[in-house]
Amino acid sequence: MMNFLTASTREIDDPKVAVEEILSQLEIEKKLLTNSLGIINCFSEFIDTGVVKALCDALPFDCIGATSSLCATGNEIDQIMLIITVLTSDKVEFKTTKAQINSQMGVNITEAINGIFESSSQKPSLIFCNFPLNTSIGGDILVSKLDEITGGIPLFGTIAVDHNPNYTTAQTILNGIAYLDELVMGAVVGEIKMTFEIASINKEKVRKQKGIITSSNNNILMGVNNKTALQYLEEIGLTRNDLLGNLGVIPFLIDHQNGAKPVTRGMYSLTPEGYAVCGGSMPQGASLSVGSLEPSDILSTTEYTLKKLLDDFEGLIISYSCIGRFYILTPNITDEAEKIKNIMNASPNYSFSNSGGEICPLLDTNGNLKNYFHNFTNVFCKLSLI
């Protein structure tokens, strides 16, 4: 049996008042079970004012988390807000760890995961991940490395982001301490019922032309159909000016040809050679389509996906939505969170926050979960009572 608690506060200046507000909502004396894990998402200045540290010090369990540009839970939505989601169980255990992301990240992640394995009675069934943004190592590489080291344990989470144009205060959190370059993880050890879905691009807004990636280097899209990326995109009707004028908001859909749903990638720049620098890996042999994303698409895809998850729902939904969707909604930046709040009928059994990149597994043709990194996507994890 697992229970779920959520709480929020807008009190950013006075740690004592903020902690009292959170504790009064959680009612942990009445509702906390034997083992618990807290997941915090917040405006980055909650770290600076000491609220995050004071809250973690006041709670009798480990907390992981990441900064965000917008958060929501229950009836509350705001940029300057802190939310916490608590998973608590008498049977399921929770383990937390971190790994510095640098040139030795493989060794660091291996040591962190081995620490979880060695202290657990069984292999974790799910790992919540909070990735750092301010490193030269992209989210796709981290997902691949974690997938390799854990043996394919489902991964779900976010890349830290913030409200600044260059994301200088985007940080991950472990037990009240914030980090610019640490991967923070919370492992769920024991039997749980979990479902994953993604809201991405409206299928009607995807161009019919599909190309095959014939040349790439990690996140650099070099060739499509044996032409340079730029030549291919111009061939299907996009000019260099179109591309340069819409950097960051033209989504590419990548089909890995394994039966899983296509994943979405953003294009961040064009090189002099005509290559596209993208927000995640562009594997050779995958199929590529070009889409568009408008505010109405963001709301419709989120509504459709969330309503699918609410069949026989009893539990918790955690949602991380790409900062790209947030910017496309400008000036109505809360519209996606409002849509979720209304569908959930202001239930406390959900949490929403913006993300610098999304980590979520998808089912392949054999019904097996495979981990992926996403752009321009709202990812959902439904945890159900069992």
**Could you please report the per-residue DSSP string of 287-336?**
EEEEB---HHHHHHHHHHHHHHHTTT--EEEEEEEEHHHHHHTTT-TTHH
Considering only CA atoms, which of 330, 315, 288, 333 is closest in space to residue 383?
A: 315
Range of weakest confidence among 60-64, 148-152, 308-312: 308-312
Distance of CA 328 to the CA centre of its chain: 18
Among residues 236, 264, 290, the one where a domain terminates is 290
Does the structure show a pLDDT above 90 at 236? no
Determine the Cα–Cα distance for residues 386 and 366; give it in Å rounded to an integer: 25
Determine the Cα–Cα distance for residues 300 and 302; give it in Å rounded to an integer: 5
60 and 161 in a single domain? The answer is yes
Percent of the chain at pLDDT above 70?
A: 98
Q: What's the pTM value of the predicted model, to 2 decimals?
A: 0.90
Considering only CA atoms, which of 53, 59, 57, 145 is closest in space to residue 99?
A: 145
Does the structure show a pLDDT above 80 at 250? no
146 and 189 in a single domain? The answer is yes
pLDDT band for 249, please (50, 70, 90 cuts). Answer: low
Among residues 255, 290, 325, the one where a domain terminates is 290
The DSSP output letter for 75 is T
pLDDT in tens, 338-352: 999 999 998 889 999
Length of the chain, please?
Answer: 386
pLDDT in tens, 70-84: 999 999 999 999 999
Q: Identify the residue with better confidence: 251 or 192.
A: 192
Does the structure show a pLDDT above 80 at 113? yes
pLDDT band for 52, please (50, 70, 90 cuts). Answer: very high
Q: What region does 326 belong to: left with phi over 0, alpha with psi -120 to 50, or beta?
A: alpha
Show Cβ contacts of residue 381 under 8 Å, excluding neighbours closer than 6 positions. 156, 194, 195, 196, 317, 318, 319, 360
**Distance between start and end Cα atoms, the chain:** 5
CA angle 38, 84, 152 (to 5 degrees): 50
Task: Please state, rounded to an integer, the average pLDDT across all residues of the chain.
Answer: 92
The total domain count for the chain is 2
279 and 138 in a single domain? The answer is no
Show the tokens assigned to 316.
């918790």
Query: Do residues 259 and 286 touch, judged by C-beta distance below 8 A?
Result: no
137 and 269 in a single domain? The answer is no
- β-sheet with 155-159: strand ranges across: 93-100, 182-189, 126-131, 155-159, 358-363, 369-374
pLDDT for 12: 98
Q: What residues make up the domain containing 261?
A: 203-290
Residue entry with tokens 């995109």: 233
Q: What is the pLDDT averaged over residues 189-211?
A: 88
pLDDT for 1: 75
124 and 104 in a single domain? The answer is yes
Show the tokens assigned to 94.
């929770």
Determine the Cα–Cα distance for residues 159 and 33; give it in Å rounded to an integer: 29
pLDDT for 217: 87
Q: What is the pLDDT averaged over residues 296-303?
A: 95
187 and 304 in a single domain? The answer is yes
Show Cβ contacts of residue 345 under 8 Å, excluding neighbours closer than 6 positions. none
Determine the Cα–Cα distance for residues 82 and 68; give it in Å rounded to an integer: 9
Q: What is the pLDDT averaged over residues 122-144?
A: 91
190 and 218 in a single domain? The answer is no
CB burial of 307-319 (b: ≥16 within 10 Å; e: otherwise) equals eebeeebebbbbb
303 and 285 in a single domain? The answer is no
- Bond into 60 cis (ω within 30): no
Show the tokens assigned to 64.
């992981």
Q: What region does 312 belong to: left with phi over 0, alpha with psi -120 to 50, or beta?
A: left
Show the tokens assigned to 218.
């990690």
Residue entry with tokens 């974690």: 146
The DSSP output letter for 238 is -
Does the structure show a pLDDT above 70 at 199? yes
pLDDT in tens, 3-26: 999 999 999 999 999 999 999 999
Amino acid, single-letter form, for residue 313: F
Q: What is the pLDDT averaged over residues 98-102?
A: 96
pLDDT for 248: 60
pLDDT for 337: 97
pLDDT for 245: 66
102 and 216 in a single domain? The answer is no
Among residues 267, 290, 313, the one where a domain terminates is 290
Determine the Cα–Cα distance for residues 158 and 186; give it in Å rounded to an integer: 12
343 and 372 in a single domain? The answer is yes
The DSSP output letter for 206 is B
Range of weakest confidence among 161-165, 194-198, 376-380: 161-165
pLDDT in tens, 312-346: 778 999 999 999 899 899 999 999 999 999 999 98
Show the tokens assigned to 49.
């004012």
Range of weakest confidence among 43-57, 162-176, 229-243: 229-243
37 and 172 in a single domain? The answer is yes
Write phi, then psi, for 32 (nearest 5 degrees).
Answer: -75, 135
Q: What is the pLDDT averaged over residues 150-177?
A: 94
pLDDT band for 239, please (50, 70, 90 cuts). Answer: confident
Collapsing DSSP states into helix, strand and coil, what is residue 175?
coil
Does the structure show a pLDDT above 70 at 386? no
Determine the Cα–Cα distance for residues 289 and 203; give it in Å rounded to an integer: 11
Q: How many CA atoms lie within 13 Å of 289's alpha carbon, on the beta-carbon side? A: 20
Q: What is the pLDDT averaged over residues 143-161?
A: 96
Percent of the chain at pLDDT above 90?
A: 69
Relative to beta strand 126-131, strand 155-159 is: parallel
Collapsing DSSP states into helix, strand and coil, what is residue 235?
helix
pLDDT for 259: 75
91 and 170 in a single domain? The answer is yes
